Amino acid sequence: MMNSTGAVDRRNEFSGKRVLITGAGKGIGRAAALLLAARGASVVALSRSADDLRSLEREIGCETHAVDLADAAAARRAALAAQPIDLLVNNAGIARLQPFLDVDVEAFDETMAVNVRAAMIVAQACARGMIERGTGGAIVNVSSISAHIGFALHAAYCASKAALDALTRVMAVELGTYGIRTNAVNPTVTLTPMAEKAWSDPDKAAQMLSRIPLNRFVQPDEVAQTIAYLLGDESRMINGASLAVDGGFLAR
Ligand code: NAP
């Protein structure tokens, strides 16, 4: 909505909408929770660490569900308990770095369970509710440029994000007929506390930055704003896209 100065007033953009965000405790998920709450959404935060959820609840007054999404049955129970949901952000993700020759089954399976399987399970619960209510909806899966690029030590992570992009397209095709849009955001290095540690070595950071035409890493709020765009009405004909938030990394 435009105010008298011509600026867009987004304070009520998501009023009356319940938005479920997985991995809302930290990083990109937390930035999305703060932004969407500021734009009027009722945030339902689903994450692992109870302390993070308590502090988020104090900050924005959200509903919280503590769960380990690697556990399929627990993920399904938590997703069902969170209903009804109008908008979903599948953001929780993990990266366990191992050289390809040493990737073990346990790390591979856990990565796929959290980054892909949980996204599917949570989306199934949300989409069933949206279909029953006939309301339509929007889903954003937080993927990565790793869906497109082979980064050393990231075999399980890259495979999981490529799978998440593929899942996004299938969801867009099947759920689109019910008015439910599904898209992915694919950030490059985003300066969450975890990434700040991983990229604090200036030589390592310089190498990565040299591949990003805009010559800087992404801020969590910039990913959150892209998520909000894909959840909102301004993207009403965008369905099945993987939208890079990468300063041009993939354009090279
Ligand atoms: P982060 O700071 O580590 O935060 C991840 C959040 O997800 C935490 O709240 C974490 O909870 C939660 N989570 C992880 N595993 C979970 C599980 N098994 N069950 C429930 N919650 C779980 O990560 P981030 O950097 O914000 O990343 C968020 C998403 O963006 C991920 O999907 C990641 O792959 C993607 N991404 C990140 C970057 C980057 O550079 N940061 C770049 C591209 C894509 P706990 O802390 O309690 O475990």
- pLDDT value at residue 114: 98
Which residue's CA lies nearest to atom 23 of ligand 1? Answer: 27
pLDDT at 198: 76
For ligand 1, the distance from its centroid to the CA atom of residue 94, given in whole angstroms, is 6
Best of 20, 22, 26, 208 for a ligand 1 pocket test (most atoms within 8 Å of beta carbon): 26
With a 6 Å cutoff on the Cβ, whether 79 touches ligand 1 is no
Instruction: Quote the CA–CA distance of 113 and 72 in Å, as a whole number.
Output: 8
**Residue having the nearest C-alpha atom to atom 2 of ligand 1:** 27
Is the preceding peptide bond at 84 cis, omega within 30 degrees of 0? yes
For residue 44, the CA-to-ligand 1 centroid distance in Å is 16
pTM for this prediction:
0.97
Q: What is the pLDDT of residue 8?
A: 83
Indicate whether 108 pLDDT > 70.
yes
How much is the pLDDT for 193? 78
CB of 167 sitting under 6 A from ligand 1? no
**pLDDT tens digits for 18-77?**
999 999 999 999 999 999 999 999 999 999 999 999 999 999 999 999 999 999 999 999
Q: 192 CA distance to ligand 1 centroid (A)?
A: 9
pLDDT in tens, 50-67: 999 999 999 999 999 999
CA 142–ligand 1 middle distance (angstroms): 9
In testing the pocket of ligand 1, which one of 30, 192, 226 has its CB within 8 Å of the most ligand atoms? Answer: 192
Q: Of all protein residues, whose CA lies closest to atom 41 belonging to ligand 1?
A: 190
Catalytically active residues are: 157, 161
pLDDT value at residue 111: 98
Look at residue 197 in the predicted model and tell me its pLDDT: 76
- In the sheet with 63-66, reading across from the earlier edge strand, the strands are 63-66, 42-47, 18-22, 87-90, 137-142, 180-187, 242-245
Q: Tokens at residue 135, please? A: 């309301």
Alpha-carbon distance values, 82 to 28, 131, 183, 225 (Å): 20, 16, 21, 23
- Residue 1's pLDDT is what? 63
Q: What pLDDT shows up at residue 115?
A: 98
Higher-confidence residue of 208 and 7: namely 208
48 lines ligand 1 (CB under 6 A): yes
Best of 43, 48, 186 for a ligand 1 pocket test (most atoms within 8 Å of beta carbon): 48
Q: Domains for the chain: give ranges and CATH numbers.
A: 18-190+219-244 (3.40.50.720)
- 3-class SS letters over the chain: CECCCCCECCCCCCCCCEEEEECCCCHHHHHHHHHHHHCCCEEEEEECCHHHHHHHHHHHCCEEEECCCCCHHHHHHHHHHCCCCCEEEECCCCCCCECHHHCCHHHHHHHHHHHHHHHHHHHHHHHHHHHHHCCCEEEEEECCHHHCCCCCCEHHHHHHHHHHHHHHHHHHHHHHCCCEEEEEEEECCECCHHHHHHCCCHHHHHHHHCCCCCCCCECHHHHHHHHHHHHCHHHCCCCCCEEEECCCHHHC
Higher pLDDT, 141 or 199: 141
The answer to whether 43 touches 33, Cβ cutoff 8 Å, is yes
Q: Are 113 and 72 in contact (CB under 8 A)?
A: yes
For the CA of 115, the closest atom of ligand 1 is 32
Distance from Cα 15 to the centre of ligand 1, integer Å: 26
Residue 204 predicted with pLDDT over 80 = yes
Range of weakest confidence among 6-20, 88-102, 104-118, 212-226: 6-20
Residue-wise pLDDT for 147-168, tens only, equals 999 999 999 999 999 999 999 9
**Confidence class for position 233, pLDDT limits 50, 70, 90:** very high
- Ligand 1 lined by 70 (C-beta under 6 Å): yes
